[in-house]
């Protein structure tokens, strides 16, 4: 962040900082897009949205804490630089990207005899302004900590209580700072000793909160910590303050949130496993995440996105109410955020956690909608057929079959294999048999599917049938259905050369856009 702020003037179009500490390999592009404030669109994949924002002029992108997602970062950076020659990328990692043109600047430990001891004195003074560290003990301590800043800060926080000699005695066999090897493993082995020693100085309530907070992948607020730790907010706040004072939790004052550094979190997670609390805390975390996601909108998603994804990733296989609610909410949020491919995946995950076939069918239909928005009509059709199978019978199966028929007739050119018209007619006949015509949604989809199956060549809908579907769709009150019905009439008008009528219908569909809010993939132009 310091570098980005210092050189912001040299990059007038963007100087953006992205912390990837909580990212996984498959969410790196989403983290970058979130920092840039862009998302996918019907005609714009996520990579294109990112490169489009950066390619407007001289731009700087700072990617921090990349070692655990190094391959994904390397692939993304290579694509960004190829697409935007005016983009500069600064990456911090314990491992180089190994890309052509990469310039590596090695950032080593703090120099002993100057900066390392100065950092210790500053942090010790912040903890206790009246403490005067013994110079020889500080020099010895910094040397034994190999000049690592976090280790020095943690030790300095205990200086007031133990003094220099006490610190050296406390470290003892805990110091296992190893040189060489791969950065990720070395750093964890090195700092686990310091953090473990600091943990041993906590009292029982502090230790319990320390290890339980390890379930948070990203930052968290006081309410989230209290919910997961199952403690009163006042008690949670007191313990959080103590852990911040001991440099085991970081307080993000401007945002009113807290977080653990990745290395500290790893030690805390190990302590959680030792206490045999992992399964229980993951269950609490999942329950909190499901409740939090249900109340979120797209604007508030980015702050807790990492934790929502992590809670779903650690969910048990099979039906689970909290996991289902969380996956469905993630589908809704990532859809609204413009991450269409992820939204599709989340809805499919929701189907695996659904308690009933009907619930799973609904999730798969939503996944199919995301697939259509991503221009994968074949995938959407397969999802709709799968939804029909999960629904079993009744309106659920009828809805999925009718939507599948309408899609296959409307977008035949996008399918890898043409679906025989006889097959689609049979599916429609089954949907008519199963569906309740008194249900407005069922009636609208049946009318739409019927309009599109009039012509065996599956190129245009029947004009009269499509026109008859419009009032049925309006009766359903669903803007997506109304847009689809108007689109069918428009397609028929275009096929017969009625251009003026087609333009009128386009304007009418465009008037629906505020209600659609990106939910309909059909061309409204």
More confident residue, 140 or 339: 339
Give the pLDDT confidence score for residue 157 in this predicted structure: 75
More confident residue, 416 or 236: 236
In tens, the pLDDT along 361-412 reads: 999 999 999 999 898 999 999 999 999 999 998 999 999 999 999 999 888 8
Give the pLDDT confidence score for residue 192 in this predicted structure: 66
Confidence of residue 524 (pLDDT cuts 50, 70, 90): very low
DSSP 206-275: HHHHHHHGGG-SS-B-HHHHHHHHT--HHHHHHHHHHHHHTTSSEEETTTTEEE--HHHHHHHHHHHHHT
User: Rounded to whole angstroms, how far apart are CA atoms 392 and 364?
Assistant: 13
Q: Is residue 516 scored above 60 in pLDDT?
A: no
Give the pLDDT confidence score for residue 459 in this predicted structure: 66
Query: Cα–Cα distances in Å, from 488 out to 121, 427, 465?
Result: 74, 19, 9
Give the pLDDT confidence score for residue 18 in this predicted structure: 93
In tens, the pLDDT along 91-101 reads: 988 788 989 98
Q: Is residue 281 scored above 90 in pLDDT?
A: yes
Does this model's pTM top 0.75? My answer is yes
Tell the burial category of 415 from Cβ atoms under 10 Å away from its Cβ (0-12, 13-18, 19+): middle
10 Å Cβ neighbour count for 506?
A: 18
Q: Is residue 336 scored above 60 in pLDDT?
A: yes
State CA 516 to chain mean position distance. 23
Q: Is residue 304 scored above 90 in pLDDT?
A: yes
Confidence of residue 191 (pLDDT cuts 50, 70, 90): low
Element housing 60 (H / E): strand 59-64
Collapse the DSSP code of 464 into the 3-class scheme (helix H, G, I; strand E, B; otherwise coil) and give the result.
helix
Give the pLDDT confidence score for residue 398 in this predicted structure: 95
Give the pLDDT confidence score for residue 166 in this predicted structure: 64
Give the pLDDT confidence score for residue 186 in this predicted structure: 37
Q: Please enumerate in sequence order all residues whose Cβ is within 8 A of that of 458, keeping only pairs 6 or more positions apart, or say none.
A: 408, 409, 412, 421, 424, 452
More confident residue, 31 or 516: 31
Structure tokens at 365: 């239909």
User: Rounded to whole angstroms, how far apart are CA atoms 514 and 157?
Assistant: 55
Query: Cα–Cα distances in Å, from 62 out to 1, 32, 72, 94, 276?
Result: 8, 10, 15, 15, 39
In tens, the pLDDT along 406-453 reads: 999 888 888 878 888 889 999 999 999 999 989 999 999 999 999 998
Return the closest-CA partner of residue 388 out of 407, 414, 415.
407
Confidence of residue 492 (pLDDT cuts 50, 70, 90): confident
Q: State what percent of residues in the chain have pLDDT above 70.
A: 89
**Which residue is associated with the tokens 């907010």?**
233
In tens, the pLDDT along 38-88 reads: 998 777 889 999 998 998 888 999 999 888 899 999 999 999 999 888 899
User: Rounded to whole angstroms, how far apart are CA atoms 220 and 484?
Assistant: 42
* CA–CA–CA angle 16, 20, 23 (5° rounding): 135
- CA-atom Rg of the chain in angstroms: 29
Give the pLDDT confidence score for residue 176 in this predicted structure: 36
User: Rounded to whole angstroms, how far apart are CA atoms 274 and 464?
Assistant: 70
Give the pLDDT confidence score for residue 180 in this predicted structure: 29
Q: Is residue 109 scored above 50 in pLDDT?
A: yes
Collapse the DSSP code of 89 into the 3-class scheme (helix H, G, I; strand E, B; otherwise coil) and give the result.
strand
* CA–CA–CA angle 23, 29, 32 (5° rounding): 80
**DSSP code for 109:** P
Give the pLDDT confidence score for residue 132 in this predicted structure: 79
- The answer to whether the CB of 88 falls within 8 A of the CB of 60 is yes
**DSSP code for 44:** B
Give the pLDDT confidence score for residue 62 in this predicted structure: 94
- The answer to whether the CB of 250 falls within 8 A of the CB of 220 is no
């Amino acid at each position: 962040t310091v570098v980005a702020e210092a050189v912001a003037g040299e990059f007038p179009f963007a100087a953006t900082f992205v912390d990837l500490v909580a990212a996984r390999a498959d969410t790196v592009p989403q983290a970058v897009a979130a920092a840039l404030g862009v998302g996918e669109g019907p005609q714009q994949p996520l990579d294109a949205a990112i490169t489009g924002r950066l390619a407007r002029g001289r731009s700087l992108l700072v990617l921090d804490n990349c070692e655990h997602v190094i391959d994904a970062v390397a692939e993304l950076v290579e694509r960004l630089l190829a697409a935007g020659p005016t983009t500069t990328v600064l990456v911090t990692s314990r491992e180089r990207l190994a890309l052509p043109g990469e310039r590596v600047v090695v950032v080593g430990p703090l120099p002993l005899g100057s900066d390392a001891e100065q950092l210790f004195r500053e942090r010790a003074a912040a903890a206790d302004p009246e403490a005067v560290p013994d110079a020889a003990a500080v020099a010895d301590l910094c040397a034994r900590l190999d000049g690592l800043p976090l280790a020095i800060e943690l030790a300095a926080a205990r200086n007031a209580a133990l003094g220099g000699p006490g610190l050296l005695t406390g470290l003892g066999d805990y110091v296992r700072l190893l040189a060489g090897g791969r950065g990720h493993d070395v750093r964890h082995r090195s700092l686990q000793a310091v953090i473990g020693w600091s943990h041993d100085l906590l009292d029982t309530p502090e230790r319990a909160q320390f290890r339980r907070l390890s379930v948070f992948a990203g930052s968290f607020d006081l309410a989230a910590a209290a919910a997961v730790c199952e403690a009163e907010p006042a008690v949670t706040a007191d313990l959080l303050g103590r852990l911040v004072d001991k440099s085991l939790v970081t307080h993000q004052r401007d945002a009113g949130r807290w977080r653990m550094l990745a290395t500290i979190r790893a030690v805390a997670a190990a302590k959680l496993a030792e206490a045999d609390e992992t399964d229980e805390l993951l269950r609490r975390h999942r329950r909190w995440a499901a409740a939090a996601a249900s109340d979120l909108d797209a604007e508030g998603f980015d702050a807790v996105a990492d934790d929502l994804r992590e809670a779903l990733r650690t969910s048990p296989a099979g039906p689970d109410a909290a996991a289902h609610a969380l996956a469905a909410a993630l589908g809704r949020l990532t859809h609204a955020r413009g991450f269409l491919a992820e939204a599709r995946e989340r809805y499919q995950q929701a189907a695996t956690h659904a308690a009933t076939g009907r619930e799973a069918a609904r999730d798969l239909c939503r996944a199919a909608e995301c697939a259509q928005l991503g221009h994968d009509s074949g995938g959407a059709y397969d999802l709709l057929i799968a939804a029909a199978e999960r629904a079993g019978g009744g309106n659920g199966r009828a809805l999925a079959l009718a939507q599948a028929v309408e899609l296959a007739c409307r977008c035949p050119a996008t399918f890898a294999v043409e679906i025989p018209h006889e097959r689609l007619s049979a599916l429609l006949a089954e949907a008519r048999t199963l569906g309740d015509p008194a249900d407005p949604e069922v009636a609208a989809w049946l009318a739409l599917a019927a309009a599109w199956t009039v012509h065996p060549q599956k190129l245009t809908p029947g004009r009269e049938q499509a026109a008859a579907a419009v009032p049925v769709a309006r009766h359903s009150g669903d803007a997506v259905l109304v847009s689809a019905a108007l689109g069918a009439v428009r397609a028929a008008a275009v096929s017969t050369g009625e251009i003026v009528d087609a333009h009128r219908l386009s304007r009418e569909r465009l008037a629906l856009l505020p209600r659609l809010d990106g939910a309909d993939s059909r061309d409204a132009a």
